[in-house]
Structure 1
Amino acid sequence: MSNSSKITFEYLKRTLIFKFDAGTSRGVLKTKDVFWIKAFHSDRPEIIGWGEAAPLVKLSLDDRPDFEEVLRKTLDQMSQLHFGSGEENVLNQLRELIPFELPSIRFALETAILDLSEGGDRKILGDGFYKGVKAIAINGLIWMGQKDFMLDQIKEKLEQGFDCIKMKIGAIDFQQELDLLDYIRTRFSKDQITLRVDANGAFSEKDALFKLQQLATYELHSIEQPIAAGNWETMKQLCAATPLPIALDEELIGVKNKAELLDEIQPQHIILKPTLLGGILETKEWIQLAERRKIGWWMTSALESNIGLNAIAQLADSLDATVPQGLGTGKLYQNNLKSPLEIEEGKIHYNPQVDWEQPS
């Protein structure tokens, strides 16, 4: 990418349709709007870099009614500027240009420009994953719903060869959720199947520790966000007293002083969603700070289409992620973009023989 040439940015909007009602403790999802960012040089419009801005409703800092208008204005402004070459220059420049309050837009631009700089072939970061020689272990995600629906998903994931299962909890009767964990644990030991749960902040502060004690009897790997984000003092006490490792998720959103949060709460793990945290550079900083403090980490997608999912998988690859990541969301939609991303035996891999569908 030439130092002197401008990049033109445009976007396409797609409403993704879930294959089923995706239940979380914040409600049921049926559709998801995403904005695909297109980056190209006007003298070579056939070479295109793609990124994705996909705010999560009720969660992202940039979940706002005027998002599309803000996106359009931002892309118009970015199309007037010159971008430096090289990953580090691009990421630092975008941090200066795109406000912290627009995390999904910053991530989309990082991805689009890095893709363009590599020739527009959907290569963002890393090497082994993109070339198809390295697969990334992922967890099989169990969505909330009636007990039978959740049990069907569990059976399906086990049949598909997942050895790490993540179950969303906090929406149905707690005893029924324990029964589902019992179903898995009576059939598979913790050495055979790793179990994670995600409460999405659903537990009350007064009964959280008691519920953690009950959950711990099933030898779980971790629980994500047991109580709602924002109460550092209670979360700190929980992390100190818990019989079960706690992973912070929503707690990280909108936090500028990363070290302060990690030092105050001292969690066992953190979970990183680049779309919600402001992209590649912010995610890397969280990881550096966590590793210095011996805090575990993994990455998860935030219901992006395959464009965003591809970028996150390549980021995980570039950082030598070892534990199973949360990158199994590509199969959620009826109308996702066809891509080389494939899931087999509990791993996501990139099949270079498969072409990307052109966004439209």
Structure 2
Amino acid sequence: MQIILKKHRLELKHTFGISRESHDVQDTLIACLSLDGKTGYGEATSNPYYHITVDSMMDEIRAVEDRIGEFDFTTPEAFHDFLAKQKLSNFSICALDLAANDLYGKLLGSPLYEIWGYPTGKYPVTNYTIGIASIEKMVEKMQEKPWPLYKIKLGTDHDVAIVKALRQHTDATFRVDANCAWTPEETIANSYKLKELGVEFIEQPLKADNWEGMKKVMAGCALPVIADESCIVESDVEKCKGHFHGINIKLTKCGGLTPARRMIAKAGNLGLKVMVGCMTESTVGISAIAQLLPQLDYVDMDGAMLLKHDIATGVVIEDHGKVIFPELPGSGIVLKI
């Protein structure tokens, strides 16, 4: 296989704020894998929380580029097994795994969801994320993008007041994501107030390793709680049973579509709800997530909707959440630049 790596800086429509950081741009790596005249595209974004930069991903991939070029590609699963032995970060593996899956579909001439036997007649609507800002700015973002389902980023000293203020401007369903910023007691107290305000669930209220705290939350919380930072890789899924009602899988963190599909199956067997989330990727990463839609209870795939300019075409999310799957093989991605 031939490999090409491309670095892009994605400019956001608005400053995106969460409990621990905010940013106006998102650096991202696009991996291109070519074989037999077909090219597959994958993506992984930089992430300061996990100490990942585009340069660090490019450096470690280039260190094994010759081995990748010599690999006898047959299936994405075999390729992922090979990548797992190369001591790459999961973010780098994700970019390559997404590209390999897209390439595989293009070589077979079919969309991934068809290859996997996932009928697309029914799927969850993506939320639209409102990052932390002034209440006025958060209201402005909602009014700019009328949507049936919003994820509200929280982690301030006035979180319930934020949700109460936003509720005055929409009847949409809310989800809230505290990004590890709350205590168990705060989570339980907030949950009753948030339930009255039409919140569907709380995502990752406590620090990722606070498992004892999550037991307290599960015992007293008025709303379901979904793991994010507490569920990174496949081995974390079983840990979440009894501590969360569901998990949010991030392709970049777990290493791509290949392990994500195994995590979905494992979570289902454990009775956990399944969500897949994005990391402000372009349409390259979002189109990969969309291939999993029929298997999900919830989805957060609004990343490309938050960008000023996209770098690819592929799956399109129309108003009110309808997803248009392109009549193209693989993940349906065509790179613009």
TM range (shorter): 0.7 to 0.9
8 Å contact 1:178–1:215 — kept in the other structure? yes
- Partner residue of 1:17? 11
What code does the residue aligned with 1:52 have? E
8 Å contact 1:115–1:122 — kept in the other structure? no
Q: Deviations over 1:212-258 (max 9, x none)?
A: 232222242100011121111111221222111111111112x5533
TM-score by length of 1: 0.81
1:131 CA drift (Å): 11
TM-score by length of 2: 0.86
- Partner residue of 1:307? 284
Alignment CA distance shift 1:147-1:136 (3 Å): same
What secondary structure sits across from 2:259 in the alignment?
A: helix
8 Å contact 1:147–1:176 — kept in the other structure? no
**Which of residues 196, 199, 202 is equivalent to 1:220?**
199
- Partner residue of 1:3? none
Alignment CA distance shift 1:15-1:294 (3 Å): same
What secondary structure sits across from 2:199 in the alignment?
A: coil
1:282 CA drift (Å): 2.1
1:331 CA drift (Å): 2.0
**Which of residues 20, 40, 44 is equivalent to 1:49?**
40
1:121 CA drift (Å): 9.8
**Which of residues 43, 49, 56 is equivalent to 1:58?**
49
Aligned-partner Cα distance in 2 for 1:178–1:114 = 39
**Which of residues 96, 109, 122 is equivalent to 2:96?**
109
1:59 CA drift (Å): 3.4
8 Å contact 2:11–2:307 — kept in the other structure? yes
8 Å contact 1:328–1:348 — kept in the other structure? no
**Which of residues 177, 180, 201 is equivalent to 2:165?**
180
- Partner residue of 1:349? 323
1:279 correspondence with 2:267: no
- Partner residue of 1:89? 78
**Which of residues 205, 219, 223 is equivalent to 1:240?**
219
- Partner residue of 2:114? 127
1:207 CA drift (Å): 2.7
Deviates more, 1:170-179 or 1:136-145: 170-179
Please tell me the root mean square deviation across aligned C-alpha atoms, in Å.
3.0
- Partner residue of 1:28? 22
**Which of residues 126, 138, 143 is equivalent to 1:150?**
138
- Partner residue of 1:167? 152
1:95 CA drift (Å): 5.5
Where structure 2 has 5 or more consecutive residues not aligned to the other structure, the ranges are none
Superposition pairs for residues 1-12 of structure 1, below 5 Å? 7-12=1-6
Where structure 1 has 5 or more consecutive residues not aligned to the other structure, the ranges are 1-6
Aligned-partner Cα distance in 2 for 1:122–1:304 = 25
8 Å contact 2:257–2:288 — kept in the other structure? no
Q: Deviations over 1:100-131 (max 9, x none)?
A: x6112222222212222333699662039999
8 Å contact 2:45–2:54 — kept in the other structure? no
What secondary structure sits across from 2:335 in the alignment?
A: coil
Alignment CA distance shift 1:9-1:348 (3 Å): farther
- Partner residue of 2:181? 202
Aligned-partner Cα distance in 1 for 2:237–2:131 = 32
1:139 correspondence with 2:127: yes
- Partner residue of 1:230? 209
**Which of residues 69, 75, 100 is equivalent to 1:79?**
69
8 Å contact 1:181–1:218 — kept in the other structure? no
* Identical positions, percent: 23
What secondary structure sits across from 2:190 in the alignment?
A: helix
- Partner residue of 1:257? 235
What code does the residue aligned with 2:154 have? I
1:31 CA drift (Å): 1.3
Alignment CA distance shift 1:240-1:133 (3 Å): closer
Alignment CA distance shift 1:297-1:75 (3 Å): same
What code does the residue aligned with 2:27 have? D
